[in-house]
Amino acid sequence: MNYNLNDISEQQQKTSTMGALQKLLQLITEERSNMLWALVAILANSGLNLVAPYIIGHVIDRYVVPKNFHGVMVWAGILLGMYIITFGTSYLQTRMMGGVGQRMLFKLRNTIFNKLQELPVGFFNQNKAGDLISRVNNDTDKINQFFSQSLMQFIGTITTMTGAGIFLLAINFKLGVATLLPGLLIFIFTKFSSPWIKKRNALSMQRTGGLSAEIQESLHNFKVIIAFNRRDYFRNRFEAANDKNYTSALAAGIANNVFIPVYGFFGAVAQLVVLTFGIYLISTGHFSIGLLVSYLAYAVNFYNPLRQLAALWANFQVAMAGWDRISYILNMETNLKVLPEAAVEKSNGTIMEFRNVSFGYDEGKEILHNVNFTLEPGKTYALVGPTGGGKTTTASLIARLYDPVTGQVLLNNRDIRTYQPAELTNKIGFILQEPFLFSGTVRENILYSNQQYLNFSNEQLEETIKAAGLQSLLDIFEKGLNTEVNSGDSISLGQKQLIAFMRAVLRSPALLILDEATANIDTITEQILQDILNKLPATTTRVIIAHRLNTIQNADEIFFVNAGEVIRAGSFDHAVNMLLHGDRQS
């Protein structure tokens, strides 16, 4: 299945957005009351601002022209009170929507992160971590900015424009039509330019994600860069990514600001129309000075919000471009579905069975072809073969990190796809060549996802570790369970492997997979690990992937994995022969 986010077609993006929009609305259902009060506040604000110009025109005609200054002062006081109220309503809606935006941001990031945890390993193999980080941090923040800052302004602007248009037409219909005519041209311009602007913003966000991915990858491999003295390689790759990001950001910035001068020009044309036509109507006795002042104010109230709307519309396009990137993730589904539990087949004494299993990471490129083998409880199996032969792929299928393209994998005579993820985690342990640890302590990493000992005190946990024969490994760490672990060099790679080893063994899995698990460990510590493995329950099955021959000497059975096949290698000497010659017939 293709999980590459950079290969999304436009039609897929549109479908994704429509489906995910419903999920976005679900995130803010609890905010309905807050949004309603914010809407009431903005409508009140817009309403008072719309009434004010008419009052000013009325005051000019009734009190200023006749020089009735008492009436002017009374109405000035009334207007002052109205403006104080509009200030209060503006503050109220800003404060309420700011809270709505932050809470929505919190929920949205949680939703995306939870969705990422549901997706299979294949998704993360096809997408760069930096780009995913950009989607979780940067793209969600663009949506938050629109909700917290722009949404109510957008509604208020539309309300003000609509009200101003109604007043323009009500005061003088012909003059109103002439004044609003440039607005029709603005609408046409906006309609045809919006897709182009959204496309520019989407490309800018993609390039920002690419820049984040480049930084993350380069920093992660900085030791290698230093070791080979290739800072120029790091610099050139960063400059290339940064240049692409700069070009796309510049294009997006120009696109986002193209509305402002266009809207400003048409607004100026509309005011010129009002002045010209209005003065003509005054000269013919069909208009008053006060109405002309009111009319100019309503024209400003119609076209000035359009300039604000230009910036808001640009923010909306940015938010929608970010939403397209997020929504496709939210609509993704794992291909590792849990099937309904079926009847368990009659026991044949095996813990794991591959039946006619074929698999490939990409369509048309099979790594394994029609593989058949069985694993029995309590035995130690070794997978050997040349690099790229399919050993780790076979182990990944055993642990159900992937599903076969065809065929079936059985665990305890039951289709492995019918097990819940938690069940598989308890039954199958996996120790990688480069284990991943979280920042924290040794204790926290050992107990990761291990509910059985989660509430144990350090003393109780140490007793459990001792009973499992792991005390010698814990003694290697200066502060024991309280030893700090972080992403830097606080502990060696070998020590990280020991923590991963303790984490797996403490779970007492029925099947333990070791993928080059001793590659970064000295021979003395490796012997200690071997002794611990020998003390595992007699029913524990071990699957060892190794290149060092001493690691597989004591295996009960050896499988040679190469050219898409998994075949029994027979004796240790025969397996060595096959490794040396790369010929399964030797």
CA distances from 131 to 137, 214, 248 (A): 10, 9, 16
How far is Cα 506 from Cα 281, in angstroms, rounded to an integer? 91
Residue 335 forms part of a structural domain? no
The answer to whether residue 443 is domain-embedded is yes
146 and 113 share one domain: yes
Indicate the range of 65-79, 307-321, 339-353 predicted with least confidence: 307-321
Q: Mean pLDDT throughout 2-22?
A: 55
- Whether residues 402 and 264 share a domain: the answer is no
Residue 344 lies in a domain: no
Residue 44: pLDDT above 80?
yes
Same domain, yes or no: 290 and 357: no
The pLDDT of residue 16 is: 47
Q: How confident is the model at residue 2 (pLDDT cuts 50, 70, 90)?
A: low
C-alpha angle 149-107-486 in degrees, rounded to nearest 5: 110
Note the pLDDT of residue 355: 93
Mean pLDDT of 32-57: 81
Could you report the per-residue pLDDT of 416-435, keeping only the tens digit for each? 999 988 888 888 988 877 77
Q: Which of 272-276, 391-395, 437-441, 489-493 has the largest mean confidence? A: 391-395
Whether residue 145 is found in the same domain as residue 240: yes
Instruction: Give the separation between CA 286 and CA 303, rounded to whole angstroms.
Output: 25
What CA–CA distance (Å, rounded) separates 561 from 556? Answer: 16
User: How far out from the chain centre does Cα 149 lie?
Assistant: 22
More confident residue, 578 or 341: 341
3-state secondary structure of 153: helix
Rounded percentage of the chain residues whose pLDDT exceeds 70: 87
pLDDT confidence band for 281 (50 / 70 / 90): confident
Give the mean model confidence (pLDDT) for residues 445-467.
Answer: 86
Q: Say whether both 17 and 94 belong to one domain.
A: yes
Q: Looking at the structure, do residues 232 and 357 belong to the same domain, yes or no?
A: no
Question: Considering the domain boundaries, does residue 339 fall inside one?
Answer: no
Decide if 346 is inside a domain: no
Residue 21 has pLDDT above 60, yes or no: no
pLDDT of residue 65: 78
When pLDDT is cut at 50, 70 and 90, the band that residue 186 belongs to is confident
Query: Which H or E element spans position 504?
Result: helix 493-505
What does the mean pLDDT of the chain come to? 79
Spatial separation of the C-alpha atoms in residues 566 and 544, rounded to whole Å:
14
Q: Is residue 33 one of the residues assigned to a domain?
A: yes
Q: What is the mean pLDDT of residues 426-455?
A: 82
For the entire predicted model, the pTM comes to 0.64
pLDDT at residue 437 greater than cutoff 60: yes
- Local confidence band at 225 (pLDDT 50, 70, 90 cut-offs): low
Residues 483 and 425 in one domain: yes
What's 533's domain CATH number?
3.40.50.300
> For residue 207, what are the CA distances in angstroms to 8, 143, 249?
15, 18, 8
Which residue range(s) make up the domain with 508? 352-581
If one counts the domains in the chain, the total is 2
Do 307 and 198 share a structural domain?
yes
Q: Coil, helix or strand for 369?
A: strand
Both 308 and 419 in one domain: the answer is no
Q: How confident is the model at residue 586 (pLDDT cuts 50, 70, 90)?
A: very low
Nearest to 507 by CA among 447, 459, 442: 447
pLDDT band of residue 376 (cuts 50, 70, 90) is very high
pLDDT confidence tier of residue 550, bands split at 50, 70 and 90: low
Task: Read off the CATH number of the domain in which 304 is found.
Answer: 1.20.1560.10
Give the pLDDT mean for 119-138: 81
- Beta-carbon neighbour count of residue 102 at 10 Å? 13
Q: What pLDDT is attached to residue 213? A: 74
Decide which of 330, 363, 392 is a domain's last residue: 330
User: 102 in a domain, yes or no?
Assistant: yes
177 has pLDDT over 50? yes
Q: What local confidence, expressed as pLDDT, does residue 289 receive?
A: 82
pLDDT per position as a tens digit, 394-423: 998 998 988 999 999 999 889 999 998 888
List of residues 6+ apart from 271 with CB closer than 8 A:
296, 299, 300, 303
Question: Does position 548 have pLDDT exceeding 70, yes or no?
Answer: no
- Residue-level pLDDT at 506: 86
Q: Are residues 242 and 284 in the same domain?
A: yes
Among 330, 361, 396, the domain-final residue is 330
pLDDT above 70 for 32: yes
Could you tell me if 323 and 358 lie in one domain? no
Do 325 and 363 belong to one domain?
A: no
pLDDT higher than 90, residue 358: yes
Answer with the one of 263, 297, 330 that is the final residue of a domain.
330
| Beta-strand pair 557-562/406-411 | unpaired
Q: With respect to residue 1, please indicate whether it lies within any of the assigned structural domains.
A: no
Paired strand residues for 375: 352
> How many whole angstroms separate alpha carbon 170 and alpha carbon 298?
11
pLDDT of residue 17: 46
